[in-house]
């Protein structure tokens, strides 16, 4: 079993839709849960991250972590064409290790 599983999509939604992007992971040591966004032919950029279980909101984006089920979610409200990108989850254990384990990424297209 891979450490981080993410459905690669592609996912296509109409503008204004609520988008749900998800990952599962197997390593119980993961404490920080990052979401990166990658536009076509660009490097990934950090979108947001959470620590341990719970929710975190940043504008139209909400990150949710359920450590009991090892499930990570990113919700996008009122999706915009500018949200069209690949979204990568990247859990991270901390504890002196600074390596990220990336999911394969989900490619999202928001259609005007």
Partner 1 sequence: DAEITQSPRHKITETGRQVTLACHQTWNHNNMFWYRQDLGHGLRLIHYSYGVQDTNKGEVSDGYSVSRSNTEDLPLTLESAASSQTSVYFCASSEPGPNEQFFGPGTRLTVL
Q: Which residues form the interface with partner 1 (CB under 8 A)?
A: 6, 8, 31-32, 41-46, 49, 51, 88, 92, 94, 98-100, 102-105
Q: Specify the residue, 33 or 62, whose C-beta has the smaller distance to partner 1.
A: 33
Distances (CA, A) of 52 to 42, 63, 73: 29, 11, 13
Per-residue exposure over 72-90, b if at least 16 CB sit within 10 Å of its own CB, e if not: bbbbbeebeeebbbbbbbb
Nearer to partner 1 among residue 3 and residue 78 (C-beta): 3
Task: Kindly tell me which of 60 and 104 has the beta carbon lying closer to partner 1.
Answer: 104
């Amino acid at each position: 079993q891979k450490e981080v599983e993410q459905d690669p999509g592609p996912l296509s939604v109409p503008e204004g839709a609520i988008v749900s992007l998800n990952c599962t992971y197997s390593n119980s040591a993961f404490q920080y849960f990052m979401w990166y966004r990658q536009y076509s032919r660009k490097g990934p950029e950090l979108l947001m991250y959470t620590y341990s279980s719970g929710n975190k909101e940043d504008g139209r984006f909400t990150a949710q972590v359920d450590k009991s089920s090892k499930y990570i979610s990113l919700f996008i409200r009122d999706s915009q064409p500018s949200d069209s990108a690949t979204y990568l989850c990247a859990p991270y254990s901390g504890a002196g290790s600074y390596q990220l384990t990336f999911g394969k990424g989900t490619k999202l297209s928001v259609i005007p």
